[in-house]
Amino acid sequence: MIEFSKESFPDTRCFIIFDQIYLRHRTGNHPEHPQRLIWIKKALEESDIAFKLDWMTPRKADETEICRVHDKQYVELVRTACEKAGDGYLRLDIDTVVCNESYDVALYAVGGVELAIDLALGIGSASSFALVRPPGHHAMPNRSMGFCIFNNEAIGCLYALERNNLKRILILDWDLHHGNGLQEVFYNDKRVLYVSLHQTYHFPGTGYADEVGGEGAEGYNLNFPLPAGCGDSEYAYCLTEIVGPITMAFKPELIVVVAGFDAHCDDPLGLMRVTSGEFGRFSYYTRCLARETGARVVNILAGGYDLDAVGESIVEAVRSLVIDEPDDLFLPTPFKVNDYVIRLVDEQRERFSRYWPI
């Protein structure tokens, strides 16, 4: 068990990146729709922490920035497809819908993530939360996937590595779905430690426990494929038993949270049982790890498709980023843990002890 500092937090505000332009990525009758952001913004503005939030507007990224991750031919394909959508919709793949404004909105999503990184790294030690859409962590270098057009998180991490001269970034992805695009981009890059907690045997069907990183980057890819029905205790067990100790050893300069809320017990797309309050504890634990290692924290909105659940969960997650005094009640605490997850954690502890002192 990691002993965290009991001193007051120096950072008690959070930057929220949002713009009305994100509502112009219209998707029709689709789970990832503009109302999600409207609901989230309303929940934060009406919460008791609203006075601690600084709302910021993003800039538009350019094609050069997108091509840090994506093939130029693919970027052109997206631009052309959006033009062809006209007044309707067009599918880039079976799950990913675009309209005539989606290309520009996707550029602003990348710009919003980059702004969140700049703010977190450049001003004091405040956290930031990028309320952007379309989401990103499934997007591959040469194709869209799973509602995602451009891989906002991957582009942002490369931006931080290159522009801010960082050496170590932790990506902590607790979205319901494995971030196959992020794993693909960083599998051979030991500057980035990618950690994913996701529902196994679910879209996109990737993220196996024995995928530890490519040659020369072994130990820098950590997957927890969790069975359906896992809830607060199982997630807390993975975080406190393995993720925390590895993070302390890795000493990231930046922690990028892929903040998906579709593992919530009320989400229509998954079969997990995480509660709104537990997302706050995930976020608080990440904040404590960041303080101990000297890292800054950037959160990037990913999944979450029940409006009430995602609104409640984001308020709890942001609350944990702005409280003044440490409180152990905010720490994730495993109680009765699924036997399968206990075995999985034991296997990952044995597997990753070759690379990290855990």
Which residues are part of the catalytic machinery? 138
Contact 279, 267 (CB under 8 A): no
7 to 284, 290, 324, 325: CA distances (angstroms): 14, 14, 9, 7
Contact 2, 291 (CB under 8 A): no
What is the token pair recorded at 24? 């112009």
The residue assigned the tokens 């896992």 is: 230
Give me the phi and psi of 258, to 5 degrees please. -85, 95
Between CA 193 and CA 145, with CA 229 as vertex, the angle to 5 degrees is 50
Q: Counting beta carbons within 10 angstroms of the beta carbon of residue 261, is it exposed (0 to 12), middle (13 to 18) or buried (19 or more)?
A: buried
8 Å CB contact between 206 and 183:
yes
Residue 236 neighbours by CB distance under 10 Å? 21
Please report the beta strands in 100-156, taking only residues with DSSP state E, as ranges in sequence order.
127-130
Cα 134 from Cα 65, distance rounded (Å): 17
81 Cβ contact partners less than 8 Å away, ≥ 6 residues apart: 90, 92, 98
Write the single-letter amino acid at 264.
Answer: H
Say if residues 106 and 75 touch (Cβ distance below 8 Å). no
Residue 108's CB is within 10 A of a number of other CB atoms, namely 23
What count of other Cβ atoms lies within 10 Å of the Cβ of residue 142?
A: 11
57 neighbors 19 (Cβ within 8 angstroms): yes
Side-chain-side CA neighbours of 325 within 13 Å: the count stands at 2
Residue 341: what are its φ and ψ, rounded to 5°?
-70, -35
